[in-house]
Structure 1
Amino acid sequence: MIKYAVVDAVEGTPTTPVLQLPTPRPATPDAVAEAIAALVDQLSTRPQAPDPKASIGVALPAVVRHGVARTAANIDPSWIGTDANRLLSERTGRPVHVLNDADAAGLAEVRHGAGRGELGRPAAGTVLVITLGTGIGSALFVDGRLVPNLELGHVELDGARAETRASAVARERDGIDWPAYAERLQRYLSHLEFLLSPDLIVVGGGISARHEDFLPLLHLEAPVVPAELRNAAGIIGAARHAYQAMPTAVQ
């Protein structure tokens, strides 16, 4: 599904309900661009319509470098090499700024959620945001600055990619209980802690709604906390990314 909303990027809050649109099949660049252009037109007719000059942030399940998609995790392979910024800007008639979807969720959490520090600013030090879903997404921040496109779900765990062992889908597929899942997650996060020495770990994704069932079973040096923004994190982070790209934005 394509999830979308109008967002107050300064406050980090949606000003419309979070809406959904079926992802085109196949999810080619042209098909997705047409869907996004249609939803922008739909939002423009609402009472909370965005400013006609407002830019658009888009979170894409891909490594994104300078607006160009370099991988295609859960979308059509034809995205690889596509200048997503240019394509979507041309189709919508607005400036569009694209980033990796896990980076978007992380950006929202460090600015407006569980990773924010004092006075609403991102927490100091190194913050690792992990999203547990179909796979494992990851975002790393150092003093509030994003280190983009880290694919830490592909770190090896027990001879396989970590996301095939420790994602939310892996728990359901293997039919394991919460203690057994926490044991897998412990092994994975302990390895990341050894590699990255984070000061804070934020765990998101749909499974974070059940965080009481597994987070208390983890034992790490860094505090581990559940994400706060849940379903809206990627949308808020994409909007924040677009806002930060404006020349006059207050960071």
Structure 2
Amino acid sequence: MNVFGVDIGGSGIKGAPVDLERGDLAQERCKVLTPHPAKPDAVAASVKDVVGRFGWSGPVGVTFPGVITGGVTRTAANVDESWIGLDAAALFSDALGLPVTLINDADAAGIAEMSFGAGRGHDGTVVLLTFGTGIGSAVFTGGRLLPNTELGHLELHGHDAEKRASSKAKEDHDLSWKHWAARVEEYLAHVEMLFSPDLFVIGGGVSRKADKFLPLINGIRAQIVPAQLQNNAGIVGAAMACLG
């Protein structure tokens, strides 16, 4: 069974049909740049562009980088503030003329990794962290998701952790892998103190280069592994969300 998934990020919007039996993309994904400013109508038009390129006519799952409750976007850390309090599920459904299910972006990635990737078969506490424009999080215990955790906004040194340890922070401050890994290590230690996970899954685009920084992280009790679905996890999880 194929369902369409769209992953909205701070820098790009990507989507593709997903084979839900294999947990993988059924076709090569399409990616467009996220509009700036990332206002609702502009983002909805970009999502419509992505979906339209495949001639898709069925249900669509869409991720959003913020807290989602009942299809309403409650926060908007890395997109325009006009998203706050918006019935975004209805906005996307109207723009596409198709049924849309909306889910937090990191929660979507986590669901995909728990079903088809690095978290598969783990019944303990698993924390997936996506490092990109910000830091997204998905927390699972006994295979069940605690939605909308948003652990990238934990405070470190008086600032949101994602301002220090996201991959964007690495780029903005021109940090070496060694220096960035030290910041990630500090962040993981903070999350570990709060949640005592058995497993950290590290996702986002930077997971493709896990060999450059994961071996540099020390002192964390939990096992740390890169996401297996890498940057496609959000698309797969968005499609999975359509099934409830």
TM exceeding 0.5: yes
Give the distance between the partners of 2:53 and 2:205, measured in 1 at CA. Answer: 27
Matched, 1:62 2:66: yes
Task: Give unmatched runs, 5+ long, in structure 2.
Answer: 1-11
So what's the TM-score if we normalise by structure 2?
0.88
Give the distance between the partners of 1:42 and 1:209, measured in 2 at CA. Answer: 26
So what's the TM-score if we normalise by structure 1?
0.86
Q: Find the counterpart in structure 1 of residue 176 from structure 2.
A: 177
Give the distance between the partners of 2:229 and 2:239, measured in 1 at CA. Answer: 14
Q: Which has the higher strand share?
A: 2
Aligned partner of residue 201 in structure 1, secondary structure:
strand
Aligned partner of residue 202 in structure 1, secondary structure:
strand
Q: Find the counterpart in structure 2 of residue 236 from structure 1.
A: 236
Aligned partner of residue 220 in structure 1, secondary structure:
coil
Give the distance between the partners of 2:172 and 2:213, measured in 1 at CA. Answer: 17
Aligned partner of residue 24 in structure 1, secondary structure:
coil
Q: Find the counterpart in structure 2 of residue 39 from structure 1.
A: 50
Give the distance between the partners of 1:171 and 1:23, measured in 2 at CA. Answer: 20
Matched, 1:90 2:101: no
Deviations 1:94-119 (A, max 9, x none): 210001111111111111111111xx
Determine if contact 2:62/2:101 at 8 Å carries over to the other structure: yes
Alpha-carbon distance, 1:28 to partner: 2.5
Q: Find the counterpart in structure 1 of residue 75 from structure 2.
A: 71
Matched, 1:17 2:28: yes
When residues 185 and 238 of structure 1 are mapped into structure 2, their CA distance, relative to the original with a 3 A threshold, is: same
Give the distance between the partners of 1:41 and 1:169, measured in 2 at CA. Answer: 30
Q: How many residues align structurally?
A: 232
Matched, 1:145 2:144: yes
Deviations 1:112-146 (A, max 9, x none): 111111xxxxx211110011122211111112221
Alpha-carbon distance, 1:25 to partner: 4.1
When residues 175 and 42 of structure 1 are mapped into structure 2, their CA distance, relative to the original with a 3 A threshold, is: closer
Give the distance between the partners of 2:187 and 2:52, measured in 1 at CA. Answer: 43
Give the distance between the partners of 1:182 and 1:31, measured in 2 at CA. Answer: 35
Identity of aligned residues (%): 50
Determine if contact 1:10/1:240 at 8 Å carries over to the other structure: no
Aligned partner of residue 127 in structure 1, secondary structure:
strand
Q: Find the counterpart in structure 1 of residue 127 from structure 2.
A: 128
Determine if contact 2:128/2:137 at 8 Å carries over to the other structure: yes
Task: Give unmatched runs, 5+ long, in structure 1.
Answer: 45-49, 118-122, 246-251
Matched, 1:159 2:153: no
Give the distance between the partners of 1:226 and 1:72, measured in 2 at CA. Answer: 26
Aligned partner of residue 59 in structure 1, secondary structure:
strand
Aligned partner of residue 53 in structure 2, secondary structure:
helix
Higher Cα Rg: structure 1 or 2? 1
Deviations 1:177-201 (A, max 9, x none): 3332222222111111110011110
Give the distance between the partners of 2:114 and 2:105, measured in 1 at CA. Answer: 15
